[in-house]
Structure 1
Amino acid sequence: MNNFFSNRVIISVWVSTFLNLLKKTLLAAMIFIIPEVNAQSAKRLEKLFEDAGQQFANQSYSSAIDISEKIIEKDPSYLDAWLLLADIYQEINNPEKEISALEKAAGLKDIPLVWLRLGNALLSIGKYEEALCSYTGYLEKEKIKPERRREVEMRIESCRFAIDALKNAVEFNPQRLSDSVNSSFDEYWPSLNIDNSRLIFTRLVKEPGKLPQEDFYMSEKIGDDWSRARPIDEINTSDNEGAQCLSADGSVLFFTACNRLDGQGSCDIYYSVMTDEGWSDPAPAGPPLNSSSWEAQPSLSSDGRFIYFSSNRPGGRGGKDIWRAEFAGFGANGKMIWKEPVNLGDSINTPGDETSPFVHAGNKNLYFASDYHIGMGKFDLFMSEIIDDSTFSKPVNLGYPINTFNDEQGLFISADGTTAFFSSPRYNPPDIDIYSFRMDESIRPHPATYAQIKVYDEKTLLPVQA
């Protein structure tokens, strides 16, 4: 018995010793194996991330997204992959997915710049209260330069303005113009003469096998409707024409054309005159109105004295500014002469972009678009009073729902100030059509009065062409 129990004890001790030794051996092996496996996995993920970054640099966005998602599938805490996804979605204009990626990144690490980007993305889709929280959080988290702080503070002001504007909507009930004007193509940038009897607009014609083509079309008012719009063949070319305005009497068309041989460079302003034979051959407005910089989107005052336009020429306040030039008569060659353009100054222009000026027929109100003044986001429409011919009041945002978190540009308002015309894709996306709406009284211009006079030749009794 004693030997039996003694042997059992010896075996038990041996087995216990063997098992302990085996555990130690395995543990020692794992200590060396696990780091090696983790290091190999990290290197594979790092290589994948490099591949994703290269695809992004090559603008192969789908491949970059696929690779980034593979990385996240293997390691959901891979911060750089989430940030890369946010960059990709920002580049391809998918703010919803950009926001999702940024929120994941913010949950992994408290990075101030992520909060700033999150605010920008939320503002871009009209989530004003959430954007306000992100911007406020960013200012609290990081000491930033005064210029950046002011920029973020302005976006906070825009969020607060938008939240209030949504609660205090202005009158806005747009009516689509008939199919005599609108078509299956895009129509935009409506321009009318002072009595609203002649409408000229830009149509983007898309035909199979051809590049999209911007051309001018004209329609005349017949009762309560418009005539079938016809192309202005005397002005249209194989190039693009657009961003036009009509003189008050409808006899002169100013417009924008780019990279033409007779231009000054980039985009320039041209004009054509209505004669008994039709529209004259377009002529460049010439220097100093045109320059080697970008000049576009002209608007002529009803008295013909000033032409307003947008330009990125040197001497401005930001990217694109609004300028105006005074008409100085006609030269010996019959061409128009303009004085040196003048920048409208700090009341109107900002470090951002100001575009699509429209001077109302009363010459007392200027409407324009800006992506910097306090607004709903992106480009909003604003109104300023022309106080003493050269002083402009602080711009007033036209409010919601005229302005939204999308881009709003290009507005024409009737002489009496009650009716506005604009174009938008918001009601029948993605098609852009021309609409009219009744102006809210709070944002109407001073009404303009005008008289239509016909002059006849004393001998022939025939009307004289202006």
Structure 2
Amino acid sequence: MHAQEYSTNNKAAIKAYESGNALVKARQFDQAEAAYRKAIEKDARFAEAYYKIGVIHQLFERPSMYPAFAEAIRLLPNDKRFAPAYPLMLHKEMSEGKYAEAETLAQQFLRFGSKDEAANRLMRKTIADVAYARKGMLQPLNYQSRPLPAPINQFFVQYFPVLTADGKQLIFTARAQERSDENMYRSYWNGSQWSAPESLSGNINTPNNEGSCSISGDGKVLVFTACEDPNKENYGKCDLYVSLKEGDTWSKPVNMGPGVNTAAWESHPTLSADGKTLFFVSNRGGGKGGNDIWMSRMDENGDWGKAVNVSALNTPEDEVAPFLHANGRVLYFASKGYPGYGGFDLYAADWENEQWGEVRNLGYPINTHEDQIGLFITADGQKGYYSVERFEGRRIVSSVLHELDVPEEVRPSIKTNYVRGMVYNAKTKEKLAARIELIDINNNQRQALVSSDAQTGEYLIVLNAGAEYALQVRKEGFTFKSLPFNYVLEDNPQPLEMDIPLDPIEAGTVFVLENIFFETGKYALQDKSKAALDELVKFMQQNPALRGEISGHTDNVGTAEANQALSINRAKAVYEYLINAGIAAERLRFQGYGATKPAADNSTEAGRAKNRRIEFTIL
């Protein structure tokens, strides 16, 4: 190489520089750096020597590469030879919030006319992100956060917090020491503080890595990531596993199967509140590029279906750490692919009319120039949980769990809460494992499906505001319940406690058929009665030897003759629905009793409403 091709004419500097190049080829990097520094001693403006020092430090991922690259670019800002350093310097400036410096670098690079389209996209996106960030920072959200107090945050690092729908159980991933494996820990809220974290020992934590988990709203289904565990069935380096809780015991984790896991990397799971829908992250092929969000649903047999790419949300860049809110209608996630403040930002998208709505940045200062990755928002939308991480280079040195008051602009638009209680045998008080479905009675669509605990009978199911529901409770050998919840006008539903007694199937048992609707003074069934009527059909089909009487009852408003006619016609309408659904007529009879068998005092509207009912008597 001739002297005129360098940025210096100093022969001694050039000699030292070329000696450094030969030493690099011989992989004698320390000696090569010394030679380049000698060249700089001879000419402090020798840009190429600074660049080569940066390249050596880049090989070993040393942060000291940045000052060397920065000096080379400062000395020769229009030199195409330094183009490979620009993406690295751009990342550094953006990660430090130096927007002006990053914008200048991006503009310089684009003037090179590089054929590296990936780098060109990065530069154009950076310029757009800088403009977006400057505008967003002028309209900051009312955002306050605080570290969770002791005894939380006692480990070297802790991250990826998740909570049950009632907010009383916190589970997170932690490493006790810098070089220890990941494990999962849980803490309980006693009304005033969190308990000391305890390991999910037994079947969950092992000497290998377990972490990045999600838990169903009722705390009974745990999905988590395990990597390279020789004691577990696996498809790839990191797979997703599921464990079920009965009483206080977690079952042995089971690989979620080929519908979810592949030979690629799978992690960052998030479950729907009922534990039947899963979103997760994978770098498998068939996506938009990099890490993508994928989705799988559990079928009626309990198997997880083949995962599909959530293409409406993914970009050619990385998407990670999805979180499906308890309302099942909004997905929060981190991405590098949308307009933002630099690095990973947090975004949200709503599920409306069977499709994903526009992706929105959660705004400043939730998002900043630093990476924001994991966020959990409570069922009521009031509190958020996430980790604040600090790095030195690529080495994590701290990660602390924080709680925030969620700004109004970020809260889920659909308010959510839950119903919890216990299912038990009405005669013996024995706790029962029952199937509990939440049905939107206006479209007869199932919104959630959970089971009560076989040991404790406990259940919890999430309900969204703005709909009218039937809570269908079914257990083999028992009558069913269809409980009404009208949240159409409820803007802020509150938690409900409701124990559910089920009657054994035996002659003489009488139970009310809730969620059967008629217009006042009429006997034509309203469409929203279909959910409860279909449940009655299933009940008859599953108990083929059962016979019963359908009886109609009214309040005492009106004449006895009118009430008698109305009650028998309403009972007949239900009878005919069952016959039309294929139930044999000889198994059923119908009768009307007017106001002669009140279930409550007719002196109040609440009592009269209770008296207007359809009952089923087992014969």
Tell whether the structures are fold-level matches, with TM greater than 0.5.
yes
- Amino acid corresponding to residue 69 of structure 1 in structure 2: R
Structure 1 residues 81 and 229 mapped into 2: Cα distance closer, same or farther (>3 Å)?
A: same
* Residue of structure 1 in register with 2:53 after alignment: 85
Measure how far apart 1:282 and its partner are. Answer: 1.2
- 1:161 matched to 2:132? The reply is yes
Specify every segment of 5 or more residues in structure 1 that has no aligned partner in the other structure, as ranges. Answer: 1-36, 331-335
Distance 2:63 2:360 in 1: 28
C-alpha displacement at 1:143, in angstroms? 5.9
**2:279 is aligned with 1:344:** no
Mean Cα deviation higher: 236-245 or 180-189: 180-189
The match for 2:371 is 407
Using the TM superposition, give the Cα deviation of residue 66 of structure 1 relative to its aligned residue in structure 2, in angstroms: 4.7
Code of the aligned partner of 2:72:
K
Equivalent residues of 2:278, 2:296 under 8 A apart: yes
Distance in 2, Cα, partners of 1:341 & 1:100: 46
Query: Which residue of 286, 292, 298 maps to 1:315?
Result: 286
User: Is contact 1:213-1:240 (8 Å) kept?
Assistant: yes
- Go from structure 1 to structure 2 and tell me whether the alpha carbon gap of 1:122 and 1:54 turns closer, same or farther (over 3 Å shift): farther
Instruction: Output aligned runs, 1:31-430, within 5 Å.
Output: 42-52=14-24, 65-88=33-56, 90=58, 98-99=66-67, 101-108=69-76, 110-112=78-80, 113=83, 118-142=89-113, 144=115, 148-206=119-177, 211-234=179-202, 235-261=204-230, 262-276=233-247, 278-330=249-301, 336-345=302-311, 347-389=312-354, 391-425=355-389, 430=397
Return the offset for 1:146: 5.9
- Structure scoring higher RCO (CA < 8 A, sep ≥ 6) equals 1
Q: By how many angstroms is 1:96 displaced?
A: 7.8
1:307-329: CA deviation from partner (whole Å, max 9, x where unpaired): 00001112100011001001113
Taking a change above 3 Å as real, the CA distance of residues 49 and 244 of structure 1, as seen in their structure-2 partners, is: same
The C-alpha deviation readout for 1:182-217, integer Å capped at 9, x for no partner, is: 10421111111111111111110228xxx4121111
SS at match of 2:166: coil
Query: Residue 356 of structure 1: CA displacement?
Result: 0.5
Instruction: Give the stretch that moved more between structures: 249-258 or 157-166.
Output: 157-166
Task: Kindly provide the amino acid, as one letter, of the partner of residue 441 in structure 1.
Answer: E
Could you give the per-residue CA deviations for residues 35-78 of structure 1, whole angstroms, max 9, x where no partner exists? xx9767643431124325655xx8x6x76655533332233243
Change (3 A) 1:383 1:259: same
Return the alpha-carbon distance in structure 2 between the equivalents of residues 378 and 460 of structure 1: 59
Separation in 2, partners of 1:367, 1:269? 20
Deviation of 1:300 after TM superposition, in Å, equals: 0.7
Give the deviation of 1:269 after TM superposition: 0.4
Change (3 A) 1:191 1:66: farther
The answer as to whether partners of 1:77 and 1:108 remain within 8 angstroms in 2 is: no
Going from structure 1 to structure 2, the CA distance change for 1:287 and 1:101 (only over 3 Å counts) comes to closer
The Cα shift of 1:152 comes to 2.1
Aligned amino acid, residue 408 of structure 1: Q
Structure 1 pair 427–443 and aligned structure 2 pair: CA distance change class (3 A): farther
Q: Could you say what secondary structure the match of 2:152 adopts?
A: coil
Out of 172-181 and 420-429, give the one that drifted further: 420-429
1:431 aligns with 2:368: no
Letter paired with 2:370:
N
Query: C-alpha distance in 2, partners of 1:118/1:230?
Result: 42
CA 1:87 to 1:374, structure 2 compared with 1: closer, same or farther past 3 Å?
farther
| Equivalent position amino acid for 2:92 in 1 | A
Q: In proportion to residue count, which structure has more helix? A: 1
Gaps of 5+ in 2: 1-8, 433-451, 454-619
Of residues 63-72 and 306-315 in structure 1, the stretch that sits farther from structure 2 once superposed is 63-72
Distance 1:374 1:85, change over 3 A: farther
RMSD: 2.8
CA distance in 2, matches of 1:259, 1:272: 18
The TM-score with structure 2 as length reference comes to 0.62
> Is the 2:291–2:319 contact (alpha carbons within 8 Å) kept by the matching residues of 1?
yes
CA distance in 2, matches of 1:329, 1:417: 30
The letter for the 2-side match of 1:414 is T
* Separation (CA, whole Å) in 2 of partners of 1:187 and 1:116: 30
The CA deviation at 1:380 is: 1.2
